[in-house]
Amino acid sequence: MANLKSLKVKEFLPLLKGRQTRFESAPSELVQISDQAMTLAKALHPKRQYLKVAEVKDISPDCKSFTLVPDPERGTKELAYFGAGKYLTVFETIEGMPVTRAYSISSSPKDSLEGKYVLTIKLVDGGLMSRYIFDTWTEGANVEVSAPSGNFEYQPLRDAKKVICLAGGSGITPFLSMANAIADGDEDFEMTLLYGSRDYDNILFREELEELEKKCDKIKVVHVLSEKTKRGVKGLEKGFITAELIQKYAPENEPYSVFLCGPQQMYEFVDKELEKIGLQKKYIRHEMFGEFRNPASQPDYPAGVPDKIKITVTIQDKTYIIFGSSADSVMQTIEKNGLSVPARCRSGECGFCHSHLISGKVYVPEHLEYRRLADYKFGCIHPCCSFPLTDLEINVPVAK
Amino acid sequence: MKKYDVIIIGAGNGGLAAAATCAKAGLSTLLLERHNIPGGSASSFVRGRFEFEPSLHELASIGSPEEVGSIEEMFCRMGAEVDWCKHDSTFRLVVPAKEGDKDAFLNENGVMVTVDARMPVGFQPFARKLDELVPGSYDSCMAAFDLSTRMFKAFECLDDPTKLPGSLKDVPDIMRMVTHTVKEGLDALGMPKKAQDIFNTYWCYMGSPASKFDFLYYMCVLHSYVKSGTGIPRLRSHEMSLSIDKVIRDNGGDIWYNSEVTKVIMENGKPAGVVINGEKEVYGKYFICNSSPNAVWNDLFDKKDIPEKQLKMLNARKIACSLTTVYLGMNKTKEELGIKDYSIFIAPDSDSDKQYEAAQNFFSGFCIINCLNEIIPDCTPEGTSQLFLTTMTFGDVMKDIKPQDYKKFKTKVAKDMIETCEKTLNISITPYIEEIEIALPPTFARYLNTPWGTPYGYMLEKWDSMIPRTVQYMQDQPFSNFFFCGASQERGDGYGCAYYTGEKAGGIVVKKIKEGK
C-alpha cells in the first residue's frame, strides 16, 4: 500500500519553534483592520439612538407627526438607515415606570440619510405612551429609540411585483414610507394602496398620498370609507375592504402580494376575506398590531385563573417579588412594578424579551406563538405575550 | 460583594461548555452573554411558519447506534438532553461543465457537469465510490483512512498512556502529516488529482485549502464525517444551547443574558473582574473568554495592560473566512422541488485552492445547498420545506458597500446564489419562496462580534494548525488566570471544536482551583 515515507519526518520541532518565531517577529502595534462588515453592523444596528424632537405637526385632531433628528451631544451622530416598513421602539420612563412602544417609521429611508425620522402617532384611548408623547414631545425634547427593527418589508425574491397594500387608520405609516421609497427609487414594486378610513375628512396624509400618486406611476391610492363618501370626489370606495374590492384592484393574470397594517379588528375581518380569494400564504404579510390585551376573551383561555398573581423575578443578581393581575402580560406586570424588561416588538414576534420560566404556567394566544421549538422543551417564554395562569418564578435578562 | 471562582465571557458553544464544566465541578460560575439567548452561532430564528437553523451543517462524531460519538458523549457527560437526528451520507459535489470541457457528461439532473460525486458513509464504500469516479484512486484513499485510523488510535494514548507502546510505530507518520499539507500528503500516497479534489470537498468546513492546510487535521475532519455519518439536533441548534444552559443552572451556575462585558478590570497585572454594560462590576478569580481576541484586545483592555505577545499574535495570524447564508422557507416539499440530498456542494472549479482564490471576492459561484427536511422530514409544516444556501468569502469584501446600498446588495447576492443552485441542479426555487432571510458578513459580525464576521477564528494554515496550537496552548494564553476558548483556539471553527476547547479551558480552571492556586 502507498505510504508517506517520501515525506520528511524531522520537520515537527522546527514547525513548533517556527510558529513562536513568527509571532515574535510580527509587529506589536494594535492595528485596526479595515472591516466594513463590522462598520455596517454597527451603523445599521446601533444599540440605542439618542434623538431630539425637531418638529411636531398636527395630522388630525388625534394624530401628530414627530420629526426626530440625531443628538450628537448624547452620542448619536447619524441615524441608522432602514428598509421602508421598519419600526422604532421608543423608550420612556413614565412616573418611574419604564415603558416601551413600537411605532412604524412613516418617513422615507432617504430622509434618514439626511438625519430625519418621522414617527406618526395616534392618541390611543387610555394609551399610556401616546398620551405621554403628546404631552411631552415638544420641540427640543430628548427621545431615546432602538435601531430600526421588524420584518415588514418588501422582498423582491419573495413578494410579487404588484402589491395590494391594505391600511387601516394609523396603519398607513409603514406604507407611507414604502410609497416614498418607491418614488425615490429605493424600492421597486407597484403599490395599490386600499386605505380604510371612517370618512373623507378623517383620511390621514390625503394630500401627501395624492402627491405621491401624481409623482410616481407605480403608486395608486384608493380610499375606502366606512361611513360616508364625499360628493364630487372620484374614485372613492364605500364600505370595508372585502374580497371583491381587493379583486377589483388586483391584477388579473399575474400574481400579487397583499400587505396588511391596521388594528386587530381589521385583520380579523380582512383575513376572512383573503381566505375567500385563496391566495398562497407567501403572498400575504401582516405587520404586527402591537400589544395583545384581554386574554380571557380567547376561546381557549382556561377557567378558574386567579385575578391576583405573584411573580418572583430574577434579573442578574437581584430577585424581586411583585404582584399583578392575570389580565396583564408578564411584561406589563414587571413594568408596572417599576422594573425594566428587554422589549422591542411587544407582539411576541421578535423574541427580544426571551426569558426563562422557572416555575408556574402561562397562557400564550395561539396567533402570537413565535417561540422556538426548543423554548417549549426548556421552558422559555416571551413575557410580552405570556399571561400568568398561576404564580410564576422567572429569570429575565437585564434591559439594555 | 460576591467573588466568583470563574467568570466566562460569552455564551457561544465554547463558553457554554466551559461554564457547564466549571459549574458541574462545583465552582461558583458566572456566564455572561451580550445577546438575549445562548449559543452564538448555535441558535435558531423564526420567520412565519418556519424555524431556521442558522449555521449548523452537520455534526460529525455523533456516532452510530453501536458506538457513541465524541460529541454525543460530551453531551451525555454534561447531562445535556438533545434529541439527535442521524444521517448516513456525507456530501454530493457537483461541478458544472464549462464550455470546451472534454470530460463533461450529462448528470441525473440533465445538466452537463465534469464532477457529480455523491459520497457514502464508511471508509470502504467511500473509497470504492471514489475509485468508480476516478479509477485508480482506491488504494490511496484507503491508505489515507488507514493513516487517520492509526492517528486516532495514537491520540487515545494521550488519555491512556498504557496504549502508547502499540502506537509508537505510527509516530513518524503522524509527524509527517502534521508538517505537510493535504496536497503533499495525498500526492505522496499517489492519489490522482481529480480524486484529491473530491476527497478535499470538506476543506471549506475548516476554511483552509489543500495547499495550506495540514494533512493531519484534514484527515481528522474527513475521518469523523466518513466513519459513521453525522447528526443534527431535532429542534435546531437552539436545542443544544438551551440544553447546556439548563445544565449550568441546574448545577448552581449563574447565566446573565444581555450582559455585555465592556471592560476587564486589572489588579496587580492580572484580570480581577469585569464591567458589564458599562456600569456593573463583578469580580472573579479565573476568566474564560469565548470572545474573539480581536474584539477582546481592541475593546476590553487598556493598551498598557495587553501582553505584547497577544498583539503580535493578532498581527501574525490571518483572519479566517466569513459566510453568507440565504435561508429559504419553501411552499413546496423537497420532492416537489426535486432535491434528493441533504448537502450539495456546487463549485465552479473542483480544486480547493482555486475555490479559495475565487472566494477573495464576493460570490464566486461556490455554494452549499442544504435541505433540513432530508434529515428531519417534519422540521417544517406539511407541504413545505426549508433550504439554506451558504457561500464563503475571505477579507473585507463589504468594503464598497454603504448602509443605503446594503439591502439591494444583499438581495443581489441571494439572487445569484439561488440562480446558481437552480441552474446547476436544473430545479426551480424562486417561485416557491415563502420566507427568506439573508445573512451577510455584517449579520455575522453583529451576532458574533468578530472581524469581518468570521465564525471561523484564524486561518488554520499548516504553521498555525491544530497540533501546534494544541501543544502551545498554555504558552499562548495572556495571563495565568485568563484562558481563551472557541473558534480562535486549538481546533478552529466547528461546534464540536468549540465545545472541546470550552470543556478543556473549564477543566484547566477546575484543576487550578482544586489545587488551591
Cα–Cα distance measured from residue B439 to residue B452, given in angstroms and rounded to the nearest whole number = 13
Q: Is residue A321 domain-shared with residue A339, that is, in the same domain?
A: yes
> Is the same domain home to A215 and A322?
no
A173 and A282 in a single domain? The answer is yes
Q: Do B442 and A44 touch (CB under 8 A)?
A: yes
Q: Residue for cell digits 492556586?
A: B517
In a domain, A278, yes or no: yes
| Final residue in a domain of this structure, among A262, A286, A310 | A286
Count CB atoms within 10 A of the CB of residue A134: 18
Q: Helices marked H in B10-69 — which ranges?
A: 13-24
Looking at the fold, whether B421 and B323 belong to one and the same domain comes out as yes
Contacts of A212 by beta carbon, 8 Å cutoff, 6+ apart: A179, A180, A183, A219, A221
Size of interface A-B (CB pairs under 8 A): 237
> Is the Cβ pair B401, A43 closer than 8 Å?
no
CA distance B120 to B72: 22
Q: Which of A45, A86, A400 to probe the B interface (max B CBs under 10 A)?
A: A400
Same domain, A137 and A231: no
Residue B411 and residue B356 share a domain: yes
Helix (H) or strand (E) holding A43, with range, is helix A36-44
B38's CB contacts (< 8 A; 6+ apart) are B11, B16, B241, B242, B244, B245, B255, B257
CB contact under 8 A, A316 and B280: yes
Q: What is the pLDDT of residues A8-25, one digit of tens each?
A: 988 889 999 999 999 999
Neighbours of B368 (CB within 10 A): 24
> Which of the listed residues B228, B248, B267 is the one where a domain comes to its end?
B228
Residues pairing with B94 in the sheet: B116, B346
Return the beta strands (E) in B333-408 as ranges.
343-346, 367-371, 385-393
**Could you tell me if A224 and A202 are in contact, meaning their C-beta atoms sit under 8 angstroms apart?**
no
Q: Which residues of A touch B403 (CB under 8 A)?
A: 40, 43-44, 80-81
Q: Are residues A275 and A317 in the same domain?
A: no
Taking the C-alpha atoms of B179, B182, B188 and B192 in order, what is their torsion angle to the nearest 10 degrees?
A: -170
Q: Does A197 fall in a domain?
A: yes
Same domain assignment for residues A130 and A170: no
β-sheet bridge partners, residue B436:
B328
Which ranges of chain B have pLDDT less than 50? none
Which among A5, A6, A40, A159 is the top mutation candidate for probing chain B, defined by the most B β-carbons within 10 Å of its own β-carbon? A40
Asked whether the beta carbons of residue A373 and residue B254 sit closer than 8 angstroms, the reply is no
Residue B412 lies in a domain: yes
Task: Report how far residue B260's alpha carbon sits from residue B258's, in angstroms, rounded to the nearest whole number.
Answer: 6
Phi, psi of A100 (to 5 degrees): -130, 150
Whether B445 and A38 lie within 8 Å, measured CB to CB: yes
Contacts of B452 in chain A (CB under 8 A): 35, 37-38
Cell of A92: 420612556
CB contact under 8 A, A15 and B468: yes
Residues on chain B touching A9 (C-beta within 8 angstroms): 172, 175-176
Same-domain pairing of B422 and B340: yes
CA distance A279 to chain B (A): 12
Q: Write the single-letter amino acid at A139.
A: E
Asked if the Cβ–Cβ distance from B452 to A157 is below 8 Å, we say no
Distances A176 to A167, A212, A329, B169 between C-alpha atoms, Å: 10, 9, 31, 75
With cut-offs at 50, 70 and 90, classify the pLDDT of residue A229: confident
Query: Cβ separation of A22 and B463 shorter than 8 Å?
Result: yes
Residue B195 contacts residue B130 (beta carbons within 8 Å): yes
Contacts of A45 in chain B (CB under 8 A): 446
- B291, B489 Cβ separation under 8 angstroms: no
Average pLDDT, chain B: 94
Q: What is the C-alpha to C-alpha distance for residues A191 and A196, in angstroms, rounded to an integer?
A: 15
- For residue B434, the distance in angstroms to the closest alpha carbon of chain A comes to 4
Which domain CATH number covers A182? 3.40.50.80
What is the DSSP-derived secondary structure letter of residue A132? H
Please indicate, yes or no, if residue B212 is contained in any of the structural domains.
yes
Q: With left for phi above 0 and alpha for psi between -120 and 50, is residue B362 left, alpha or beta?
A: beta
Query: Mind telling me how many Å the CA of A149 is from chain B's nearest CA?
Result: 14
Distance CA A260, CA A175 (A): 9
B104 falls within a domain: no
Q: Look up residue B299 and give its three cell numbers.
A: 475593546
Nearest to A373 among B37, B142, B235 (CB): B235
DSSP label of B227:
H
Domain with residue B34: its CATH number is 3.50.50.60
B386 in Cβ contact with B379 (< 8 Å) = yes
| Residues forming beta bridges with residue B325, ordered by sequence position | B390, B439
Shortest CB distance from B311 goes to which of A30, A41, A282? A30
| Res A79: pLDDT | 98
Question: Among partner residues B280, B312, B453, which is closest to A28 by beta-carbon distance?
Answer: B312
Chain B residues in contact with A378 (beta carbon < 8 A) = 242-243, 245-246
pLDDT value at residue A296 = 94
Residue that is last in its domain, among A258, A286, A314 = A286
From the CA of B228, how many Å to the nearest CA of chain A?
Answer: 24
Q: Could you tell me the three cell numbers for B70?
A: 465524541
* Contacts (Cβ under 8 Å, ≥6 apart) of B125: none
Buried b (16+ CB within 10 A) or exposed e, A265-288: ebbebbeebbeeeebeebbbbbbb
**Count of domains observed in chain A:** 3
Same domain, B393 and B498: no
Residue of A nearest to B466 (CA): A16
B311 and B331 housed in the same domain: no
Cell representation of residue A258: 397583499
Cα-Cα-Cα-Cα dihedral sign, residues A231, A236, A240, A243: positive
Using CB atoms, pick whichever of A158, A372, A397 lies closest to residue B46.
Answer: A372
Q: What are the strands, taking DSSP E only, across B180-269?
A: 230-233, 254-256, 261-267
Please indicate, yes or no, if residue A18 is contained in any of the structural domains: no
Picking from B1, B30, B36 by the largest number of A CB atoms within 10 A of its own CB, the best residue to mutate is B36
Tell whether A131 is covered by a domain. yes
- Structural domains counted in chain B: 3
Do both B277 and B364 map to the same domain? no
Contact A372 B331 (CB under 8 A): no
B332 near B433, Cβ under 8 Å? no
Contact flag B315-A26 (C-beta cutoff 8 Å): yes
Domain that holds residue A244: 162-286
Nearest CB among A12, A43, A158 relative to B433 is that of A158
Determine the 3-state secondary structure of B327 from DSSP. strand
Same domain flag for B255 and B357: no
Q: Do A15 and B179 touch (CB under 8 A)?
A: yes
Residue A10 lies in a domain: no
Pair (B205, B178) in one structural domain? yes
| pLDDT, averaged across chain A | 95
Does residue B442 share a domain with residue B353?
A: yes
Bridge partners (DSSP) listed for residue B327: B388, B437
What is the residue range of B354's domain? Answer: 50-85+319-448
Q: Are residues A122 and A171 in the same domain?
A: no
Domain end residue (candidates: A85, A117, A145): A145
Q: Please check whether residues B313 and B325 belong to one and the same domain.
A: no
> Hey, are the CB atoms on A37 and B442 less than 8 Å from each other?
yes
pLDDT recorded at residue B162: 77
Q: What is the pLDDT of residue A290?
A: 80
| CB < 8 Å to B306, chain A | 30
Confidence class for position A291, pLDDT limits 50, 70, 90: confident
How far lies A53's CA from each of A38, A62, A71, A85, B358, in Å?
Answer: 29, 18, 9, 21, 49
Residue range A144-171: mean pLDDT, rounded: 96
Distance from CA of A82 to the nearest CA of B (A): 8
Q: How far apart are CA B383 and CA B86, in angstroms?
A: 23
Which residues have a Cβ under 8 Å from the Cβ of A222 and sit 6 or more positions away? A192, A193, A194, A195, A235, A236, A237, A249
Q: Compare all CA atoms of chain B with the CA of A287 and give the residue at the minimum distance.
A: B48
> CATH number of the domain that A326 lies in?
3.10.20.30
* Domain-embedded: residue A9: no
Final residue of a structural domain among B448, B480, B495? B448
Distance from CA of B65 to the nearest CA of A (A): 24
**Nearest Cα residue in chain B from A17:** B468
Residue that is last in its domain, among B391, B417, B448: B448
pLDDT at A50 over 90: yes
Is residue B146 a part of any domain in this protein? yes
- Closest Cα in chain A, distance from residue B24 (Å): 19
Quickly count: other Cβ atoms within 10 Å of residue B475's Cβ. 9
